Amino acid sequence: MYKNTLDYAKECDQNDPIASFRSQFHIPTDQTGKPLIYLCGNSLGLQPKTTESYLKQELDDWASLGVEGHTEARKPWLPYHEFLTDQMATIVGAKPEEVVIMNTLTVNLHLMMVSFYRPTEKRFKIIIESDAFPSDKYAVESQLDMHGIDPKEGLLLWHPPAGEAICRLEDLQTLLEANKDEVALIMIGSTNYYSGQAFPLKEITALGHQHGCMVGFDLAHGAGNIQPNLHESGADFAVWCSYKYLNSGPGSLGGCFVHERHRHNPELKRFAGWWGHNKASRFNMRQEFDVLAGAEGWQLSNPPILSMAAIRASLQVFTDAGFDNIRAKSVKLTGYLEFLLNDMGNPNIGIITPSDPQQRGSQLSIQVKNADRRLHDALTEQGVISDWREPDVIRVAPAALYTRFEDVYEFINRLKNALDTLY
């Protein structure tokens, strides 16, 4: 299927239906102006060229309108988050009323756990994957501690089998059965940051609900990367950031999903703020809290418009390209990268990310035996932007909107050069 030639890589680029979208992004360059091979979209996505104009529009409206921009701006600020909802819902496979852009990822995770982690004397434990992103682990441990529960007792880790990097669903089932009627919440990263494994969200949700648990997902490495089909999955909630595959800029806002079955649940506790109040009476300051239905009801404060403008710019690119096209290309890109790595025939190189495209996003985690950070530094010196994770993994994430097949081919050449120089 694949061929290990530059001509083949260029042919793939010529036949790529979304190849033109690369020109819509600022590609970092070296000191000579030559484009770098950017394979780090799983940490920070590149900037769409339209972002500047989207931001400038809001700056201009602020300058000319002042406070009146809330109602008179070209994109009025009061309902600004609503301009993002439909496109974002499409990307995560949700209904618009199930999605809202607000806060940052871990803030949203805490807000969701306030509502969906309601421990009792018997049912109080939380399951996360053993190598969850540290922020998730810290958040979950702090929630346990806030409820007076020792994290050593309340936190359960879903481990891969010994000597493996990939978690198996049957082991999660075993963990649930071993802690029967004691697990209150399963909270899994939809796509593991380290291994790149994309978890089966629908199956995990069904398993959790069978055991009486609430189920939530962190889509930090999933949103804009895989199609999580959140509504269909049945998950109770999900959270994500927007600065990785969604290209909204460093530290930009996150998103939140709440399944529609919780739309009018009066028993759900929550931390409340005025932006979650009924829009019709929000500015009548003496009203009792009247919560909005759907995900909007978890909002706290009026939104930061400049950050949302950057998100709006990126979401338009996703809409223009079509998420199905983006996902299809990412499968081909990672498949080509996998083929080239295997074709190296180097027994010291392994891929810990699942080979099945349905079990991974647009990332391969490359494990190099006896390697250290010098290998990553050597790649950086050759103009490759990737990501090093201790103790011996290089994460490579070709983002379909701006990564070429030629970039993947050239990465392999530079990896060979680095290995030949160091080892």
- The answer on pLDDT for 346 being more than 80 is yes
Give whole-number Cα distances, 406 to 11, 14, 327, in Å: 9, 10, 18
User: How high is the pLDDT of residue 266?
Assistant: 75
**pTM for this structure?**
0.96
Please say whether the beta carbons of 288 and 261 come within 8 A. Answer: no
In tens, the pLDDT along 355-412 reads 999 999 999 999 998 888 999 999 999 999 999 998 889 999 999 999 999 999 999 9
Residues contacting residue 6 through CB under 8 Å, at least 6 positions apart: 406, 409
Q: In what order do the strands lie in the sheet with 387-389?
A: 349-351, 364-368, 393-396, 387-389
SS (HEC) of 335-404: HHHHHHHHHCCCCCEEECCCCCHHHECCCEEEEECCCCHHHHHHHHHCCEECEEECCCEEEEECCCCCCC
The fraction of the chain above a pLDDT of 90, given in percent, is 94
User: How high is the pLDDT of residue 331?
Assistant: 97
User: How high is the pLDDT of residue 422?
Assistant: 83
User: How high is the pLDDT of residue 423?
Assistant: 78
Phi–psi pair at 90, nearest 5 degrees:
-65, -40
User: How high is the pLDDT of residue 265?
Assistant: 86
Give the DSSP H/E element, type plus range, for residue 156. Answer: strand 155-158
List the domains of the chain with CATH numbers. 6-48+323-422 (3.90.1150.10), 79-319 (3.40.640.10)
- The answer on pLDDT for 316 being more than 90 is yes
Secondary structure class of 258 (helix, strand, coil):
strand
Segment 117-130 shows an average pLDDT of 97
User: How high is the pLDDT of residue 192?
Assistant: 95
- The answer on pLDDT for 59 being more than 90 is yes
- The answer on pLDDT for 88 being more than 80 is yes
Give whole-number Cα distances, 215 to 92, 109, 174, 211, in Å: 16, 12, 17, 11
- The answer on pLDDT for 285 being more than 90 is no
Q: How confident is the model at residue 237 (pLDDT cuts 50, 70, 90)?
A: very high
User: How high is the pLDDT of residue 215?
Assistant: 98
Q: How far is CA 170 from the centre of its chain?
A: 25
Secondary structure class of 410 (helix, strand, coil):
helix
User: How high is the pLDDT of residue 197?
Assistant: 97
- The answer on pLDDT for 151 being more than 90 is yes
Average pLDDT over the chain, rounded to whole?
Answer: 96
- The answer on pLDDT for 112 being more than 90 is yes
Beta bridge partners of 48: 25
Closest CA to 54 of 75, 69, 25: 75
Q: How many residues comprise the chain?
A: 423
Segment 310-319 shows an average pLDDT of 98
